[in-house]
Amino acid sequence: MLTSREQTRAETMRKIVRASRKLLTSKGGFTLRAVAAQLDMTAPALYRYVESHEQLMQLVAVDIDSTATEEFKKERDKQSAEDPAAQLMAAAVAFRTWALTNKAEFHLVFTNPEVDHNALLQTQAASGLMFHELLFRVWEKYQFPFPAAETLEPELVSLLCDPQIPIDMKGVPEELYGLVWVFMRSWAALYGTVTLEVYGHLDPRVVEHGLIFRAMIEDQAGVLGLTDELPRMRALIDKLI
């Protein structure tokens, strides 16, 4: 149980993060001085809670990732738990919708170089854990093929033994390490496509109609053993986008 002093500090930290997120979404960014002003604090007082602007950005990024993932889960859970393919599609569309609607927050969490080395996001990001759990469930149901370890580069195999990504490897035997490589590439396809859409590095009409996103889903359906499910998945995506 937290002491009164610990509770006060935790509440102040929550206020600092909330103020930072408000500035991020309204101003496109935040400084320690601006956050302190929002809270009627002095900059030196704020430094008692955060050591640097980089640390504050990392704290805010973790908070954004956590709350956004709750939105993704709500959309995921509108689909049957017995239908991981539909849940994966719903979560992917929710991720895209959130990113296009909340570009400043997406930038801070997923593309800001100052949070690239945030160890918590690197290995414990709520969004990453959710998507990898869904990918495991899709594989458990559809048993799609994946590369055997002996067909991969030795250096890659050594990395897959301890992947620095948000994935729960407990109980995953060595013979499934090639599956993790499939997951990494699937996430790269989703993340890369959405990032291009967010930053407008595509014909805007392609983004408006979700054409590149739909094409990515079609490609990934083949990788994830969902080719036979495509008619159903297309209908679901049409409904959700």
Topology annotation, domain 1-50: Arc Repressor Mutant, subunit A (1.10.10)
Q: Comparing 74-88, 103-117, 201-215, which segment has the lowest mean pLDDT?
A: 103-117
pLDDT band per the 50, 70, 90 thresholds, residue 62: very high
Can you give the pLDDT at residue 120?
66
Q: What superfamily in CATH does domain 61-240 come from?
A: Tetracycline Repressor, domain 2 (1.10.357.10)
Residues with Cβ within 8 Å of 115's Cβ and at least 6 positions away in sequence, in order, are 54, 57, 58, 61, 108, 109, 121
Can you give the pLDDT at residue 144?
97
pLDDT band per the 50, 70, 90 thresholds, residue 28: confident
Long-range contacts of 6-10 (CB under 8 A, 24+ apart): 9/49
Residue range 110-148, pLDDT digits in tens: 888 766 556 667 788 999 999 999 999 999 999 999 999
Distances (CA, A) of 198 to 173, 177, 201, 229, 239: 37, 32, 8, 28, 21
Can you give the pLDDT at residue 49?
95
Q: For the chain, what is the mean pLDDT?
A: 93
Residue 1: pLDDT over 80: no
Distances (CA, A) of 126 to 82, 129, 166, 205, 207: 22, 5, 8, 31, 26
**206 CB-contact burial (10 Å; exposed 0-12 / middle 13-18 / buried 19+):** middle
Residue 2: pLDDT over 90: no
Can you give the pLDDT at residue 142?
97
Residue extents of the structural domains in the chain: 1-50, 61-240
Residue 4: pLDDT over 70: yes
Residue 170: pLDDT over 60: yes
Global pTM value: 0.93
Mean pLDDT confidence for 144-173: 89
Residue 93: pLDDT over 90: yes
Residue 108: pLDDT over 80: yes
Can you give the pLDDT at residue 123?
82
Can you give the pLDDT at residue 175?
87
Q: Cα–Cα distance between 99 and 115 in angstroms, integer?
A: 17
Domains 1-50 and 61-240 alike in fold: no
CA 99 to the chain's CA centroid: 10
pLDDT band per the 50, 70, 90 thresholds, residue 187: very high
Which residue type is seen at 137? Answer: R
Can you tell me which residue has the tokens 């595509």?
Answer: 202
